[in-house]
Amino acid sequence: MAAIVRTENLQKVFGRHVHALDGISIIVEEGEYVTVTGRSGSGKSTLMNIIGCLDQPTGGTVEIAGQNVDYSDPEQLVSLRRSKIGFIFQQFSLIPSMTAAENIEYPLIFSGVPGSERKRRTMDMLELVGILDRSDHLPGELSGGQQQRVAISRALVAGPNLVLADEPTGNLDSTTSNEIITLLKQINEEMGTTFLIVTHEPSIWFGTDRTIHLSDGKVVP
């Protein structure tokens, strides 16, 4: 299998002495479903942000889908975020004034996808996650679980090589959390989408291909 994510000796230092990441070297292969766990402050979110090209490392290298990431090149970072990486956030991060369908379609506008193709992909995503009948609803008219399904659709609509999910069930009750976990795993198995999921919830660890444990910015057994 090809490596979708490869990091070598990744370092992130805040100030003079705070080593948020201290020599992280990991590989995530195509089609894997991998969780990243650790206590608060262990470096989980920092690792996710750097892999997602939202923050830059102090040292080390990152490769996404065969491309070496140049954190000094804003155009490459934007291109990677638009075409290679999908994001799912704990807070959903939907645009309140846009319908579910419009939120999903929005990233495709910036990628230059024609209108008819945007509509087709959006409807396909809504059907995939089981909320086609909510396409015209605003986020405020949707439950937490439905909003996260919209967010999942938005992350997938551009066909990314990698989906990064940061505490995707953190704002959901246990029943809805289990539904979302089942949906993510189903998408991984049926579509072959690579997932890297940051979580502190043990329930998400089950069914994963691998779990990467972080402590004090280092990978631990």
96-129, pLDDT tens digit by residue? 999 999 999 999 998 899 999 999 999 999 999 9
The pLDDT value recorded for residue 28 is 98
Reply yes or no on whether the pLDDT at 205 is more than 80. Answer: no
- Summarize the chain as % helix, strand, coil (round to 5): 40, 30, 35
The pLDDT value recorded for residue 38 is 93
Reply yes or no on whether the pLDDT at 21 is more than 80. Answer: yes
Reply yes or no on whether the pLDDT at 138 is more than 80. Answer: yes
3-state secondary structure of 43: coil
The pTM of this model reads 0.92
